């Protein structure tokens, strides 16, 4: 059973740096943990996130839920907003861990993320604020 995640978030300088490193690592070594190493150091990511079962599916998991408006997206626009739409098996609350422990360290202003479990009809809204500590 899959859960989709989508959001548009204004990246902080630190978030943009971490994302650039993560994307470069993904291009050169797709099987490697995208969130470990230098990315983990830049964001000071907690153990609860790094030890999760499926962190690499954010933002890389293919979209398996929702209608036509849920299609895979992972890019940064010219204004510094990170657009993501992905999905994963959320058995260990990977999405909730990401929204609580990771995304706040990457953004410079509040955003709304949506998660959609494949049996639900409406997405769940999550308000996420920045926390660069």
By residue range, what is the domain housing residue 93?
3-128
Return the H-helix or E-strand segment holding 113. Answer: strand 111-117
pLDDT value, residue 133: 62
- Residues 73-127: pLDDT tens digits? 999 999 999 999 999 999 999 999 999 999 999 999 999 999 999 999 999 999 9
- Domain annotation covers residue 52: yes
pTM of the model: 0.94
Backbone angles phi, psi at 128, to 5 degrees: -125, 130
- Domain annotation covers residue 133: no
- Domain annotation covers residue 71: yes
Q: Which two tokens stand for residue 32?
A: 């490697």
- Domain annotation covers residue 31: yes
């Amino acid at each position: 059973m899959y859960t989709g995640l989508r959001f548009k978030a204004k990246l902080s300088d630190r978030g943009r740096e971490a994302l650039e490193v993560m994307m470069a690592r993904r291009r050169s070594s797709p099987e490697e943990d995208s969130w470990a190493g230098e990315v983990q150091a830049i964001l000071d990511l907690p153990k609860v996130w790094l030890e999760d079962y499926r962190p690499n599916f954010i933002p890389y998991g293919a979209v398996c839920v929702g209608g036509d408006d849920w299609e895979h997206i992972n890019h940064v626009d010219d204004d510094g907003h990170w657009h993501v739409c992905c999905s994963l098996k959320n058995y260990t609350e990977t999405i909730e861990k990401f929204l609580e422990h990771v995304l706040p360290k990457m953004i410079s202003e509040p955003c709304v993320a949506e998660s959609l479990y494949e049996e639900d009809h409406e997405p769940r809204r999550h308000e996420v604020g920045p926390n660069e500590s």
